[in-house]
Amino acid sequence: MSGPEAAIKALMDAKTIAVVGLDTRESRTAYRIADYLQKAGYRIIPVWVQQEASEVLGERAYASLRDVAEEIDFVDVFVRSEHTDPVIDDAIAIGAGAIWLQQGISNDEGLKRAEEAGLIVMQDRCTMVDHRRELRG
């Protein structure tokens, strides 16, 4: 299974979500969505935090996906499209199950590489919107 259905299933089945580009400012979209996902029961791992904090949402922050020692099921990306290649390469290298580029972010070539490496991929959609929609049925 591939496409939106597979990506939404990967989101719903995930336990640990790395949020790349998370921001410490509560007014920012990345923070609000990560907070929503954490409250929905996911373990959030902050990566490439915009304000260079050591902790966000009570979780230790990391400089890159490769610095995280534990398994990551799902990578939720909040960096500009032109900065996604290294994040995609790191997601492939750590063996993440899925990578999702948030609404307004896209990288067709990068996600093609990820898909060829076995990751479930999605771009230009919001994890929070799809999660809420899925819960409503």
The answer to whether the CB of 26 falls within 8 A of the CB of 41 is: no
Q: Is 60 exceeded by the pLDDT of residue 1?
A: no
**What does the DSSP 8-state code read for residue 89?**
H
CATH of domain 4-136: 3.40.50.720
For 24, residues 6+ apart whose C-beta sits below 8 A from its C-beta are 31, 49, 50, 51, 53, 56
* Secondary structure of residue 70 in the 3-state scheme: coil
Q: Where are the domains of the chain?
A: 4-136
Q: What pLDDT digit, counting tens, does each position of 29-69 carry? A: 999 999 999 999 999 999 998 777 899 999 999 999 999 99
Q: Specify the pTM.
A: 0.95
For 100, residues 6+ apart whose C-beta sits below 8 A from its C-beta are 7, 11, 74, 75, 76, 77, 121, 122, 123, 125, 127
The percent of residues in the chain predicted with pLDDT above 70, rounded, is 98
pLDDT tier for residue 3 given thresholds of 50, 70 and 90: confident
